[in-house]
A = this chain, B = another copy of it.
Amino acid sequence: MTNSKRTCLAADVGGTNIKVGLVDEDGRVLARQGFPTASGRGPDMVMADIIRHLKGLAAEAPKGRRPMGLAIGVPGWINQADGVLLKAPNMPGWVNVPVVEIMSRAFDLPVLLENDSNLYALGEWHGGAGRGLKHLLVITLGTGVGGGLIIEGKLWYGAFASAGEIGHQLVELRGAPCGCGGRGCLETIASATGMTRLGREWLKKKKETLYRGEPDRLTPEMMFDLARRGDPMSLAVFRRAGEALGMVLVGVFNLLGLEGVIIGGGVAGAFEFIRPRLLEIMNRGLVVADPARLKLVRGELGEDAPLAGAPALLRALAG
């Protein structure tokens, strides 16, 4: 039995962990490995780690079939034409790293670099919840809020090769400070960091909650568990996240007339608690389409999404 599908290699570089995978052309992850990002050791050592793990995976590719290429997602700004990671906010010292050059020395394959949110979006579009849509936005709710916009079946880069930044839509002009230097961005409310902040504010006000731990130890995961038990704090935090997301998505849909939005990322598990208020705001605010006609769902691929985006990236840039 031979697998007739072509494969590709993929790496998803995060500030904390790195995942590498062998992926078939439909975006199915055939094999994966994960390991911590030793980012303090500098880009060269980390790249060497990635190469070693990828070589191991490449050996598992179906016999006689070379992978069609290697796609790498990184958490920062890139110059895609040169294959350079310009800056990664959460990885100090990672400035102007020639990722594609380094990888091309190790692999005799086409190598492409992409922003991690964009690769995630390609994954959900190509092999996940966005399959078959032509115009969609994929939002990742994680430590921050990221996004990738697909228009006419292609990643949208805009005039400055850095579009899709949904996390820094302004929802509260005088809101909490954001890592971007602004205030009141979506990210200050709907990210893991934002939700934790909102939960701690609730605790500080000594409002009713089932949470009994130290405010410093509160996490979105705990709030997710507590929300299932009806905890007022956790429900309020997720409701607020849905509200902020709703404000942003009303704007996005009214401006762009997309077919759908996919919500992924580590905090998307709480989507069931975020969704009701989000829909309420959208039902009230949409002027271009009936909300019932829009696809608004949780992502299907979870942590595999960026790996699943590899074949779509390689194909889009090849053709």
Contacts and interface: CB of A to CB of B under 8 A. Distances in A.
Interface string A155-173: 0111111111110111001
A285 to B, nearest CB: 5
Stoichiometry, copies per complex: 2
A250 interface: yes
A183 B287 CA distance: 12
A257 interface: yes
A182 interface: yes
Contact of A251 (B162, B169, B257): B169
Contact of A255 (B134, B149, B180, B183): B149
A254 interface: yes
Interface in A128-182: 134-135, 147, 149, 151, 156-166, 168-170, 173, 180-182
B258 A158 contact: yes
A253 to B, nearest CB: 8
Given A163-B256, A254-B168, A255-B163, A284 B183 contact: yes
A259 to B, nearest CB: 5
Contact of A289 (B149, B151, B160, B250): B160
A165 B258 CA distance: 12
Contacts of A285: 168, 170, 180, 182, 185
B149 A134 contact: no
Contacts of A166: 254-255
Given A162-B257, A170-B281, A254-B169, A180 B287 contact: yes
Interface in A259-284: 259, 281, 284
A281 B158 contact: no
B257 A157 contact: yes
B255 A173 contact: no
A284 B164 CA distance: 18
B159 A257 contact: yes
Contacts of A247: 170, 173
B151 A151 contact: yes
Given A169-B254, A173-B243, A252-B255, 8 more contacts: A156-B257, A157-B257, A162-B288, A163-B257, A165-B287, A165-B288, A168-B287, A169-B250
7 contacts: A149-B256, A156-B256, A162-B288, A163-B256, A170-B250, A170-B281, A252-B255
Interface of A: 134-135, 147, 149, 151, 156-166, 168-170, 173, 180-183, 185, 243, 246-248, 250-252, 254-259, 281, 284-285, 287-289, 293
Q: Which 5 A-B pairs have the closest CB atoms?
A: A158-B257, A163-B257, A169-B251, A165-B254, A162-B288
